[in-house]
Structure 1
């Protein structure tokens, strides 16, 4: 089966595969209770761990995406379930950083993957780090690096962002500044103190911790300016990757599918910087893999590892679309993450594979109300042509942002959007306060889980606790051995 066919099949058969999920809101409540009572905790060790991070995927984003997916499928939106909402265990996760009430992706991903909070803007380092100050003594190890070094597991990372972006980089790199993507962003004093740019860390990693699969965007950070890249040190990191025994480099879906059948380590870079959002990919670049296809390829390759694997999959454009005020795109990308989770569930066995789905932080998306059957991307009340009017005499969208580029300019009132197609993918959504980029939000984010140790994902949790659950599931010792 091709990667594309696998993705389609997983989405189509999800309801058949998981009909009795304990938390499925659309299920009969009595049946859901019986399923929960019948489910025994899985206390066995995990052979594999798959961590999904929906960047910026707060509770309101999940709710709105659930409704949108259901409505597009001709179903009742509020009682619909995204693939990860049928995972039987879950809770809420607190997301603050060492120095801020509201975290960014660097600290959020680091807290999850290393068990250590750091400052906003830094990744793979401890909480005493000062952003931009290189101190190798403050490096901390991720769950993937430990699993490979101590247990011989295969490791992989997948993202729709540049593979050097904060969330994927937290799995394999140490950086006092998330902007050290390549040599042009690395200050001379940091280089002198022993720090390397993030792209170099991915390629130059020792065999004992090197990623076996790395898929995403960011090609420019790996190649020199003379061949269209960003690097000024003349290093060709793609060539350096391929110089390793059996390692391969791919740039399209067909090549990725073929490489996944082999034994070599795979680097796939499908865009100069971040990959296209799904609407752009589907319209202009179908040869580029979807998040679900990249997930399938990574699992195909990693699952042949004798000792199992650890995989991080990020849906990056949820956050990036939210920042731009593009709510339709953010919800589309949440649905794409759901498809990737469906693929992972189809390709793995919950008896030996722990799957966790969570977010690094939330966004200020607000669900203002509306009738149950109204299009979630539209206005409150009636049809989009004749919506009910708010107190200012203007229609109010069901979804708005607390902050963002859709806020009114200083001294001006909220715009009247009567007659506009506010559901369009490129339509900037209204916000309460105008900011050039919508701000992250600080409320707790959801976590969903299934598999070994999933029963430990419950209640109110601190973000580093997720690392401890993964560590326990893999039976890694509490303290990492000295590097």
Structure 2
């Protein structure tokens, strides 16, 4: 009876006040009007239940909810805004969204290999393994046979579609390898243990995928794993393959075109398979990338142009791998620069495709141990020190907030990493010390490492949820809080819908 009465009272109160009855200072407010606009856009949104001809899975490695928040502010501030009001290309009402649980079947904090594998097979996997069932054991080659999972790329190739990979990491690294590889150890990039006959190394698997016609275009870094040990790579370094195989030569002999820089990429014939490797290892951070090296947007444009020639459609996985690496380094300035061009790649992929027949899914594989400090005023540089909140206007005050030690602090810190405030003493496990005093100029320098607490040579992932955004056929299935492997099932349903 009590609940019924409360419901009636709430309904009466709701009907007693409408937007038309509100004062002009409220309804004329820009925030109020923008909220009404958003509601109308959401009301007008219609579910697309057609069959997806194309699927683009875009993974910003390590770009969890926190990292994405910081990237949003950085992008907005680069445009001269205060930052928080920026809307990233995939944060608009025409994208559906959800939260994603990223754990591996045996790990609370996930690794990129099984997270990417879950998205490419529909099955959650073990830490450090790629595209094998939970019965496979890490680093044990004897458990590979019989536990191999079928990938989304293999499914769409059987439908006559083309397949492509774009990554700013090595093409043999965890996330891109999940498109084509099955391995008991993600680190078997150029070799497997002696006596292991159940699988090839990841680089060899990639060339097999290209020569068989399953993989049509692959653009990224990592030429050293395709080149014989001590032999010169096309990028000025030396190879690492102890078996002496020259996989780049094998690819060329099989009719696959090869490019080692932007000029060579632009000169290729778009009618034949393409392999592009710009660096010996991972590609350059965007903040350091030379003009001769293709950017993430350059690779995205080329891949979509190439794959769109297939009338049956395509599957393309695009990874911004170095967002993850800069987070591991505790260097948010480079994280942000790679995050910014990532958002441009998403916008470009959307622009180059048709919402009616292309499902675009934008997500991350995991988050990092990134944390945000308060209480900062609007407009505080997201990668800098925390300014106070002003009493008037929107912009921050000119005074830096101070911690109880009397020193300013940055907006972003990491809970662990090489930027630790603790200093090592004489013993291996002897750490002590206090925070250094940092200026705003120092904190916003490209090479600055955000302060961290727990000392580690490389900052770790975290187990927090990540977000997923989707538009196109069956994008409305992205909703609520999902297990990460469900992303595969959305893609698979979309390409098979009647």
Q: TM-score, normalised by structure 1?
A: 0.88
Structure 1 position 124 matched with structure 2 position 152? no
Q: Which residue of 2 aligns with 1:146?
A: 155
Structure 1 position 219 matched with structure 2 position 223? yes
Structure 1, residues 330-349: CA drift from partner, whole Å, max 9, x if none? 11111111011111011000
* 3-state secondary structure, aligned to 2:279: coil
Q: Which residue of 2 aligns with 1:6?
A: none
Equivalent runs, 1:87-98 vs 2, <5 Å: 87-98=94-105
Structure 1 position 309 matched with structure 2 position 314? yes
Structure 1 position 113 matched with structure 2 position 117? no
Q: Which residue of 1 aligns with 2:67?
A: 61
Q: Which residue of 2 aligns with 1:232?
A: 242
For residue 385 of structure 2, the aligned residue among 360, 379, 386 is 379
Alpha-carbon distance change, 26 to 250 in structure 1, aligned in 2, over 3 angstroms: farther
- CA-CA distance at 1:408 after TM superposition: 2.1
Equivalent residues of 1:91, 1:448 under 8 A apart:
yes
Equivalent residues of 1:48, 1:309 under 8 A apart:
yes
Q: Which residue of 1 aligns with 2:411?
A: 398
Structure 1, residues 399-421: CA drift from partner, whole Å, max 9, x if none? 11111111122222222224651
Alpha-carbon distance change, 43 to 419 in structure 1, aligned in 2, over 3 angstroms: closer
**Distance in structure 2 (CA, Å) of the matches to 1:111 and 1:433:** 30
Gaps of 5+ in 2: 1-30, 233-237, 389-395, 423-430
Alpha-carbon distance change, 187 to 144 in structure 1, aligned in 2, over 3 angstroms: same
Alpha-carbon distance change, 26 to 57 in structure 1, aligned in 2, over 3 angstroms: farther
**Distance in structure 2 (CA, Å) of the matches to 1:127 and 1:414:** 44
After TM superposition, the structure 1 stretch with the greater mean CA deviation from structure 2, 44-53 or 130-139, is 130-139
Structure 1, residues 69-105: CA drift from partner, whole Å, max 9, x if none? 1111112310101222225201100000011001010
**Distance in structure 2 (CA, Å) of the matches to 1:206 and 1:64:** 37
Q: Which residue of 2 aligns with 1:7?
A: none
Structure 1, residues 445-466: CA drift from partner, whole Å, max 9, x if none? 0001100010001110000000
Displaced runs of 4 or more, over 6 A: none
Q: Which residue of 2 aligns with 1:201?
A: 205
Alpha-carbon distance change, 206 to 293 in structure 1, aligned in 2, over 3 angstroms: closer
Equivalent residues of 2:383, 2:411 under 8 A apart:
yes
Q: Which residue of 2 aligns with 1:264?
A: 272
Equivalent residues of 1:26, 1:81 under 8 A apart:
no
Bigger Cα Rg: 2
Alpha-carbon distance change, 27 to 254 in structure 1, aligned in 2, over 3 angstroms: farther
Structure 1 position 300 matched with structure 2 position 299? no
For residue 280 of structure 1, the aligned residue among 288, 294, 312 is 288
Structure 1 position 249 matched with structure 2 position 253? no
**Distance in structure 1 (CA, Å) of the matches to 2:387 and 2:282:** 37
Equivalent residues of 1:202, 1:210 under 8 A apart:
no
Structure 1 position 356 matched with structure 2 position 349? no
Give the CA RMSD over aligned residues. 1.9
Question: How many residues in Structure 1 have an aligned counterpart in Structure 2?
Answer: 443
